[in-house]
Amino acid sequence: MKKIIILGSTGSIGTQTIEVVKTHPDKFKVEMLTANSSADLLIEQAKAVNSKYVVIANKSYYEYVRAGLFGTGITVLSGSTAINDLVASIDADLVVTAMVGFAGLIPTLKAIESRKNIALANKETLVVAGDLVTEAARKHSVQIIPVDSEHSAIFQCLQGENPTSVEKIVLTASGGPFRNYSLEQLKHVTPENALKHPNWSMGAKITIDSATMMNKGLEVIEARWLFDLRPDQIDVVIHPQSIIHSLVQFSDGSIKAQMGLPDMRLPIQYAMAYPNRLPNTFERYKFDPIHSLTFEKPDTQKFPCLKIAYEALIKKGNHACIVNAANEIAVAAFLQKKIGFTQIPEIILQTVEKIAKIDHPTLQDYIETDVESRVVATSLIEKT
């Protein structure tokens, strides 16, 4: 039985991780759950899986959560420091990092330093500080198993293969809800439109990132660190059906692909159970009736966020950290209807121009870059 920690248990990935735990109670024991402010759901989850520890990051909810779990024997703590301390100190085999955004970086590093394997759903951790995270994983002999469906697909295709035989990888993208929109139509997109993803059920932030194709851009950066690849070894192709989750092309020209229905529980369960595969009752893809699987080239003129991400990967240093922070602020502003859809990449590019580049950033440099980038992006939004 694996002892697991779930960071960000009340989000989309976290709730589906809980579902996998409930399906296989003989395989997983939850030691710790964390949430930012979804107090009621956190209480419900803690009772359902009998977690030993619960941490609510927003301290104003501490008394509410403590009262809700009174008499259960579950230890309740609050604040980011408590999250970091517990992740480092309690006994666990695997940490599922499902926190959204930059907030996942420090607890992920703490988990690695305490030699806990990582099921990585927080792509921003590698986007922001992939060099520090992968070096820490090597130093402490920790395995990082990807949860993103695309990276899970690559990871699965590489099983039994020599990594040096990889010629390139191809990340697939659904194209989001606005794949066939014109530039003029994109100017009038609303948050309500953008939150209706055609294939996947995800949280608000990642759904908007999918619509702008920044999500795919962040995945390109993440793939560079997960699989130790050059930017020119990572391609993106639009695959509207979301059945082929990604592909690997090898030095002999052979291509391996991983397929399945678009259901995040599949890569979550794979990462949690690795190196084993567990049975489940999830819906299966059927070849009857036969469906067409189609592919298109991404349009970076309409969706410049993908190009912005590639440029960040090439420029290295703290560049990706700036892009990630500015994107988080811009997406939040779009959801609040403070800026338009096409202004998201504009805010990111303007922020990049105003922040000094650091070629070899330390962890403190990344933290300061993140803060400064958010301040600059917020200021730019206020002037729009």
Are 81 and 110 in contact by the 8 Å Cβ rule? The answer is no
Q: How many helices (H) and strands (E) does the chain have?
A: 16, 11
Once rounded to an integer, what is the mean pLDDT over residues 221-239?
97
pLDDT confidence band for 296 (50 / 70 / 90): very high
The conformational region for residue 97 under phi > 0 = left, psi -120 to 50 = alpha, else beta, is beta
Q: What would the two tokens of residue 268 be?
A: 């979550």
**3-state secondary structure string across 324-374:** HHHHHHHHHHHHCCCCCCCHHHHHHHHHHHHCCCCCCCCHHHHHHHHHHHH
Helix (H, G, I), strand (E, B) or coil at 33: strand
Structure confidence at residue 97 (pLDDT): 96
Question: Which whole-number Å values give the CA distances from 333 to 156, 210, 267, 339, in the listed order?
Answer: 37, 16, 30, 6
Percent of the chain with pLDDT over 90: 92
Residues 225/153, Cβ–Cβ less than 8 Å? no
pLDDT in tens, 316-375: 999 999 999 999 999 999 999 999 999 999 999 999 999 999 999 999 999 999 999 999
As a whole number, the mean pLDDT across the chain is 95
Q: Angle formed by the axes of helices 204-212 and 214-227, to 10°?
A: 100
- In DSSP terms, 248 is beta-bridged to 169, 256
201 confidence band (pLDDT: 50, 70, 90): low
Q: Domains plus CATH for the chain?
A: 2-146 (3.40.50.720), 149-300 (no CATH), 316-384 (1.10.1740.10)
- Which backbone phi and psi does 47 adopt, to 5 degrees? -70, -40
**Per-residue pLDDT for 200 more than 80?**
no
pLDDT of 36 > 90? The answer is: yes
Assign 204 a pLDDT band (cuts: 50, 70, 90): confident
CB of 235 closer than 8 Å to CB of 175: no
Task: Tokens for 197, please give them.
Answer: 């993803």
CA distances from 212 to 41, 205, 238, 259, 384 (A): 29, 11, 13, 24, 19
270-282: pLDDT as tens digits: 999 999 999 999 9
**Which tens digits make up the pLDDT trace of 124-180?**
899 999 999 999 999 999 999 999 999 999 999 999 999 999 999 999 999 988 999
**pTM for the structure as a whole:** 0.93
